[in-house]
């Protein structure tokens, strides 16, 4: 205890433990430092993949060759997809903000398995390195697209095995993180924090973690099957050996579709954190939002076939998958309606993080609603594998997860670094991002319906106008993103000190100093109410100091927790 | 009017109309609340509002009905796409890196250019010689993958004379974006003349004579271009003729 309070006199950033300097980071088991290490690695990959995206748009400025050759273009979109999906979108929010914030929100000193937590970071770095290496060895960068469809992937790249191995290792990183979060949520909630007193970010991570644990092993099975095929000549996927290429698509999407929900559920959780803070009132429909996360996770398992409506799957399967796909829209809709209703009769403090969330709701709604076009069989057959799909998933992935990643950075930035950024600049940057985003991706919907297939190096002349507009949009978008990060970076170096609770948040992370001390809490707090109650405090931060007052309360709270 | 095109466009408009109403509704409500209940206009938040069972039921059940209607629309169009009319003529389509190969009932073959008789229903048997491709004719709103080792199918009605783009929609390697082609729909008489022209006709001549056919445009095409703008590797002898009864006809490798 004495040790703990000593450690708690300084923030986690200043604390000097057994290891100093860089080793103090690389060997840390502190969930906050691990979160920051993830943040640094992930930001590097994000900027690399974003640069590749800008190059793609530049190539699309005019038909024929603009800046690169077809083979290069095919490698560029493959790299863009692989890095964005596996190294940024999937791990970003759980690994960075889940690690940093979840234990504090639950009233815990760390995650359940801190050493395992550090291990996941090394797994992530190993997988990432392997993925990058595999793209540059074995006869040049892979050019298969991030989906690695056979038989092309077997014919073309020599290192499908290595790339899948990288995905496998990255997968283990997410499995272990997921497992760690599940145990943390089950076992380390502060006394009195019942399931329905848990912050909604924790609910989002809980649903995500189950998907991570249950869906990711499928990619492992796929790897083993590819090995059997390559080394023992057992025909699994290759039709030349009597295998079935469609089977590969099934296995790929059984993992990769639930992965879509791994990407978006944590983001949705943070929307539910930010809205009540700035509306200064309780969230609307807490239970419905919490349960809908589980609903999305559950139904999300059963809809992978909608990626394969033109692959030659049986008609009956297509009809069933289409129906299930529409059902997943319901819990998503429930969330959006509840979020908007949260603003009703609030007292809205208009701040930068809220602005990002409002932008998210608008853009994500477009993404979700255009998903209905892709869920319906007749329309999907026309627009699948066209720019319409590219537009749709950029609206839900970048407009959904990406924008929420930015919102989250602005929301928890003062907590993580103890510094405050210029809010006006943040709002202007967000406006530029929203304009650039829509200019870049909205033309894709039109191009798609006109019949412009995706992954096309060259295009027919009738598509050029929209491509030019889109490329100009990409410059605006990147300008906005650089402006936004510049603002945060400046704040990191020269920003004024942030207070403990600059936004008036009600969850536990706002009850500890900014930046938080090593062990987060001097004493494990006791929870007496819901997470978003604004008119009274629902936490007893120092139960021992208020002994007389809380003795009975603690007991009843413990009993409640046991239930 | 082409039934498939009509069904696809109708479902698209139906889904888009409902989506537009929902999007505008959600966005308008959001913007209105932010201003109406701003710190300035509403200094004291109403802490009593934490949910409403009625609303939750409403915004679960109404969207459920709407999406089921969308599902049904999509299903109806899909049923039409899979329901090949029994009178349909059959064309075998083979995707190869990176061009399209067509084979007619009478073994007449052609690369890149797909000639069809106006007004006829056509069933396509889709195969691949190497990797996955996808036979996509945007003007007719249909596509289906060509997967090695299996035969997929699709059909459409060659409603009106004209030229329409064929594109490969499943990524297939370096020249994926050049795996283009043209559907050329001509009056039935001309088609029959073309398809039965074998042996005695010089191949190049055939191609030339067909290019001279006056191709009309029509409103169906969303992506119509002139034939000569295609960047597909159309060879001079792109329309090959194979003698119908020739004994030494080389069998296509499987």
What is the ipTM, given to two decimal places? 0.90
Of B110, B224, B98, nearest to B161 by C-alpha is B224
Q: Flag whether residue B81 sits within 8 Å of chain A, measured between CB atoms.
A: yes
Cβ-Cβ contacts under 8 Å, B55 against chain A: 285, 337, 341
From first CA to last CA, the distance across chain B in angstroms is 38
Structure tokens at B114: 């797909």
CA–CA gap between residue A543 and residue A541 (Å, rounded): 6
pLDDT at A6: 52
Sequence spans of domains, chain B? 3-82, 89-229
For residue B227, give Cα distances in angstroms to B94, B112, B197. 21, 11, 22
Burial class (CB in 10 A: 0-12, 13-18, 19+), B175: buried
pLDDT at A484: 97
Reported as type and span, the H/E element at residue A552 is: helix A547-562
A positions 306-325 inside 8 Å of B (CB): 310-312, 315, 318-319, 322-323
pLDDT at A158: 56
Cβ-Cβ contacts under 8 Å, A370 against chain B: 19
Going across the sheet that includes B142-146, the strands are: B113-117, B180-186, B162-168, B133-137, B142-146
Cβ-Cβ contacts under 8 Å, B37 against chain A: 279, 343-348
For A134, residues 6+ apart whose C-beta sits below 8 A from its C-beta are A142, A159, A162, A163, A165, A166
Q: Flag whether residue A504 sits within 8 Å of chain B, measured between CB atoms.
A: no
Q: Are the C-beta atoms of A65 and A457 separated by less than 8 Å?
A: no
B positions 83-122 inside 8 Å of A (CB): none
Is B78 close to A319, i.e. CB distance below 8 A?
yes
Cβ-Cβ contacts under 8 Å, A145 against chain B: 171
CA–CA gap between residue B136 and residue B143 (Å, rounded): 4
Reported as type and span, the H/E element at residue A257 is: helix A245-279
CA–CA gap between residue A324 and residue A161 (Å, rounded): 32
Is A282 close to B42, i.e. CB distance below 8 A?
no
- Which pairs count as long-range contacts for A151-160, CB under 8 Å and 24+ apart, including other chains? A151/A237, A151/A238, A151/A239, A151/A240, A151/A245, A151/B130, A151/B131, A151/B132, A151/B148, A152/B131, A152/B132, A152/B171, A152/B172, A152/B173, A154/A237, A154/A238, A155/B130, A155/B131, A156/B173, A159/A134, A160/A226
Is B75 close to A454, i.e. CB distance below 8 A?
no
For residue A375, give Cα distances in angstroms to A15, A129, A195. 52, 36, 33
pLDDT at A547: 60
From first CA to last CA, the distance across chain A in angstroms is 29
Structure tokens at B40: 């300035």
Is B67 close to A461, i.e. CB distance below 8 A?
no
Q: Are the C-beta atoms of B254 and B225 separated by less than 8 Å?
A: no
CA–CA gap between residue B59 and residue A536 (Å, rounded): 31
Of A77, A174, A83, A81, nearest to A128 by C-alpha is A83
Cβ-Cβ contacts under 8 Å, B43 against chain A: 347
Q: How many CA atoms lie within 13 A of A89 on its CB side?
A: 27
Q: Flag whether residue A544 sits within 8 Å of chain B, measured between CB atoms.
A: no
CA–CA gap between residue A215 and residue A224 (Å, rounded): 15
Q: Flag whether residue A156 sits within 8 Å of chain B, measured between CB atoms.
A: yes
For A528, residues 6+ apart whose C-beta sits below 8 A from its C-beta are A192, A538, A539, A540, A553, A557
A positions 29-68 inside 8 Å of B (CB): 64
CA–CA gap between residue A178 and residue A213 (Å, rounded): 6
Burial class (CB in 10 A: 0-12, 13-18, 19+), B144: buried
Strand-pair category, B142-146 with B152-157 = unpaired
Residues pairing with B146 in the sheet: B133
A positions 61-100 inside 8 Å of B (CB): 64, 70-71, 74
CA–CA gap between residue A187 and residue A111 (Å, rounded): 10
For residue A465, give Cα distances in angstroms to A382, A444, B137, B204. 22, 11, 21, 36
Q: How far is CA A505 from the centre of its chain?
A: 22
Segment B196-222, tens digit of pLDDT: 876 443 344 333 433 433 333 333 333
Cα torsion A344, A345, A347, A351 to 10°: value is 10
Is B26 close to A365, i.e. CB distance below 8 A?
yes
Nearest CA in chain B to A346: B45
Structure tokens at A68: 């690169």
Chosen from B6, B11, B45, B64 to mutate, greatest number of chain A CBs within 10 A:
B45
* Lookup result for tokens 């030349």: A240
H helical segments located in A29-159: 31-59, 70-82, 99-106, 114-136, 152-155
Burial class (CB in 10 A: 0-12, 13-18, 19+), B29: middle
The C-alpha of B168 sits at a distance from chain A's nearest C-alpha, in angstroms, of 8
For A446, residues 6+ apart whose C-beta sits below 8 A from its C-beta are A466
pLDDT-derived band at B77 (thresholds 50, 70, 90) equals very high
Of B51, B92, B112, B109, nearest to B235 by C-alpha is B112
Strand-pair category, A539-540 with A526-527 = antiparallel
CA–CA gap between residue A413 and residue A497 (Å, rounded): 11
Cis ω for the linkage preceding B247 (within 30 of 0): no
Cβ-Cβ contacts under 8 Å, A76 against chain B: none
Q: Are the C-beta atoms of A45 and A128 separated by less than 8 Å?
A: yes
Asked whether residue B241 carries a pLDDT value surpassing 50, the answer given is no
Chosen from A453, A503, A506, A536 to mutate, greatest number of chain B CBs within 10 A:
A453
Asked whether residue B4 carries a pLDDT value surpassing 80, the answer given is yes
The C-alpha of B154 sits at a distance from chain A's nearest C-alpha, in angstroms, of 10
φ and ψ of A474, to 5 deg: -65, -35
pLDDT at A141: 75
Q: What is the mean pLDDT of residues B74-99?
A: 95
Burial class (CB in 10 A: 0-12, 13-18, 19+), A178: buried
Is B225 close to A461, i.e. CB distance below 8 A?
yes
Asked whether residue B120 carries a pLDDT value surpassing 80, the answer given is yes
CA–CA gap between residue A325 and residue B71 (Å, rounded): 9
The CATH number corresponding to A2-562 among 1.20.210.10, 3.40.640.10, 3.40.50.970, 3.40.630.30 equals: 1.20.210.10
For A464, residues 6+ apart whose C-beta sits below 8 A from its C-beta are A62, A63
Size of interface A-B (CB pairs under 8 A): 277
Segment B32-44, tens digit of pLDDT: 999 999 999 999 9
CA–CA gap between residue B140 and residue B165 (Å, rounded): 10
Q: Residue B159 gets which letter from DSSP?
A: -
Structure tokens at A253: 């999407």
Neighbours of A532 (CB within 10 A): 26
CATH 3.20.20.140 fits B89-229, yes or no: no
Q: Is B115 helix (H, G, I), strand (E, B) or coil?
A: strand
Is B71 close to A281, i.e. CB distance below 8 A?
no
Neighbours of B48 (CB within 10 A): 8
Q: Are the C-beta atoms of A347 and A279 separated by less than 8 Å?
A: yes
Q: How many CA atoms lie within 13 A of B100 on its CB side?
A: 31
Burial class (CB in 10 A: 0-12, 13-18, 19+), A47: middle
pLDDT at A149: 86
Q: What count of residues does chain B have?
A: 254
Domain spanning B3-82 has what CATH number?
1.10.287.90
Reported as type and span, the H/E element at residue B144 is: strand B142-146
Going across the sheet that includes B121-128, the strands are: B109-111, B99-104, B89-96, B121-128, B152-157
pLDDT at A328: 93
Cβ-Cβ contacts under 8 Å, B8 against chain A: 378-379, 381-382
Is A149 close to B132, i.e. CB distance below 8 A?
yes
Q: Flag whether residue A453 sits within 8 Å of chain B, measured between CB atoms.
A: yes
Residues A262-300 as b/e (b if ≥16 CB within 10 A, e otherwise) read bbbbbbbbbbbbbbbbbbbbbbbbbebbbbbbebbbebb
Q: Print pLDDT tens along chain A (563 aa).
A: 334 445 567 888 888 777 788 888 999 999 999 999 999 999 999 999 999 999 999 999 999 999 999 988 998 998 899 899 999 999 999 999 999 999 999 999 999 999 999 999 999 999 999 888 877 777 677 788 888 888 888 776 556 677 777 878 888 899 999 999 999 999 999 999 999 999 999 999 999 999 999 988 888 788 778 777 777 878 888 888 888 999 999 999 998 999 999 999 999 999 999 999 999 999 999 999 999 999 999 999 999 999 999 999 999 999 999 999 999 999 999 999 999 999 999 999 999 999 999 999 999 999 999 999 999 999 999 999 999 999 999 999 999 999 999 999 999 999 999 999 999 999 999 999 999 999 999 999 999 999 999 999 999 999 999 999 999 999 999 999 999 999 999 999 999 999 999 999 999 999 999 999 999 998 999 999 999 999 888 899 988 877 635 444 444 444 444 44
Q: Is A559 helix (H, G, I), strand (E, B) or coil?
A: helix
Sequence spans of domains, chain A? 2-562
H helical segments located in chain B: 3-36, 53-82, 188-196, 203-211
B positions 116-155 inside 8 Å of A (CB): 130-132, 134, 136, 138-139, 141-145, 147-150, 152
Q: Is B156 helix (H, G, I), strand (E, B) or coil?
A: strand
pLDDT, mean over chain B: 82
pTM: 0.89
pLDDT at B243: 38
Q: Are the C-beta atoms of A542 and A556 separated by less than 8 Å?
A: no
């Amino acid at each position: 205890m004495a040790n703990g309070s000593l450690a708690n006199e300084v923030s986690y950033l200043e604390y000097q433990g057994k290891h100093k300097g860089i080793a103090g980071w690389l060997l840390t088991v502190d969930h906050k430092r691990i979160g920051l290490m993830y943040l640094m690695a992930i930001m590097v990959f994000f900027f690399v993949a974003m640069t590749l995206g800008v190059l793609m748009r530049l190539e699309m400025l005019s038909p024929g060759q603009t800046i690169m050759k077809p083979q290069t273009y095919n490698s560029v979109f493959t790299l863009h997809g692989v890095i964005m999906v596996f190294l940024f979108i999937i791990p970003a929010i759980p690994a960075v903000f889940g690690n940093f914030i979840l234990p504090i929100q639950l009233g815990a000193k760390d995650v359940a398995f801190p050493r395992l937590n550090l291990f996941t970071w090394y797994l992530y770095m190993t997988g990432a390195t392997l993925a990058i290496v595999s793209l540059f060895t074995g006869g040049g960068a892979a050019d298969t697209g991030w989906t690695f469809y056979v038989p092309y992937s077997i014919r073309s790249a020599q290192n499908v095995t290595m790339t899948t191995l990288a995905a496998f290792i990255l997968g283990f990183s997410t499995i272990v993180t997921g497992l760690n979060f599940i145990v943390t949520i089950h076992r380390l909630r502060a006394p009195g924090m019942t399931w329905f007193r848990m912050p909604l970010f924790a609910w989002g991570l809980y649903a995500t973690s189950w998907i991570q644990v249950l869906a990711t092993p499928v990619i492992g099975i796929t790897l083993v099957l590819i090995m059997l095929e390559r080394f023992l000549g057992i025909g699994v996927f290759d039709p030349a050996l009597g295998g079935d290429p469609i089977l590969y698509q099934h296995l790929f999407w059984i993992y990769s579709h639930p992965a879509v929900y791994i990407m978006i559920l944590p983001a949705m959780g943070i929307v539910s954190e930010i809205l009540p803070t700035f509306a200064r009132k309780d969230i609307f429909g807490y239970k419905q939002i919490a349960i809908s996360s589980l609903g999305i996770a559950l139904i999300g398992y059963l809809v992978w076939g909608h990626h394969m409506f033109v692959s030659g799957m049986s008609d009956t399967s297509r009809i069933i998958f289409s129906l299930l796909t529409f059902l997943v829209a319901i819990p998503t809709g429930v969330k959006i309606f509840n979020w908007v209703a949260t603003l009703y009769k609030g007292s809205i403090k208009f701040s930068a993080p809220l602005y990002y969330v409002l932008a998210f709701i608008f853009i994500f709604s477009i993404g979700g609603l255009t998903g209905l076009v892709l869920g319906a069989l007749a329309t999907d057959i026309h627009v699948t594998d066209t720019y319409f799909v590219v537009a749709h998933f950029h609206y839900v992935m970048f407009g959904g997860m990406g924008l929420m990643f930015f919102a989250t950075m602005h929301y928890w930035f003062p907590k993580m670094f103890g510094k405050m950024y210029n809010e006006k600049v943040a709002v202007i940057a967000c406006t530029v991002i929203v304009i650039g985003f829509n200019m870049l991706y909205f033309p894709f919907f039109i191009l798609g319906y006109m019949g412009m297939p995706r992954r096309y190096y060259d295009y027919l002349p009738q598509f050029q106008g929209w491509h030019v507009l889109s490329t100009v949009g990409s410059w605006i978008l990147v300008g906005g993103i650089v402006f936004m990060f510049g603002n945060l970076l400046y704040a990191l170096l020269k920003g004024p000190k942030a207070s403990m609770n600059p936004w008036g948040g009600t969850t536990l992370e706002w009850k500890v100093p900014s930046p938080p001390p090593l062990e987060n809490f001097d004493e494990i707090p006791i929870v007496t109410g819901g997470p978003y109650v604004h008119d009274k405090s629902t936490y007893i931060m120092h139960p021992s100091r208020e002994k007389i007052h809380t003795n009975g309360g603690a007991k009843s709270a413990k009993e409640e927790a046991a239930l | 009017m082409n039934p498939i095109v009509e069904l696809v466009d109708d479902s698209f408009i139906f889904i888009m109309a409902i989506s537009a109403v929902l999007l505008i509704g959600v966005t308008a409500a959001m913007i209105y609340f932010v201003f109406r209940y701003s710190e300035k206009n509403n200094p004291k938040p109403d802490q009593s509002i934490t949910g409403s069972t009625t609303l939750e039921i409403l915004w679960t059940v109404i969207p459920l009905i709407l999406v089921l209607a969308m599902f049904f629309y999509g299903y109806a169009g899909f049923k039409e796409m899979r329901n090949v009319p029994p009178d349909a003529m059959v064309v075998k389509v083979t995707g190869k890196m990176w061009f399209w190969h067509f084979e007619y009932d009478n073994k007449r073959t052609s690369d890149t250019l797909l000639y069809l008789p106006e007004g006829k229903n056509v069933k396509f048997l889709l195969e691949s010689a190497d990797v996955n491709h996808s036979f996509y004719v945007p003007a007719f709103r249909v596509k289906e993958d060509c997967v090695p080792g299996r035969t997929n199918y699709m059909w459409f009605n060659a409603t009106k004379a004209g030229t329409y783009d064929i594109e490969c929609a499943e990524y297939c390697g370096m020249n994926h974006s050049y795996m283009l082609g043209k559907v050329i729909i001509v009056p039935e008489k001309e088609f029959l003349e073309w398809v039965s022209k074998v042996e005695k006709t010089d191949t190049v001549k055939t191609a030339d004579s067909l290019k001279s056919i006056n191709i009309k445009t029509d409103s169906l095409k969303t992506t119509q271009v002139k034939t000569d703008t295609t960047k597909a590797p159309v060879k001079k002898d792109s329309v090959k003729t194979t003698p119908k009864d020739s004994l030494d006809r080389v069998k296509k490798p499987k």
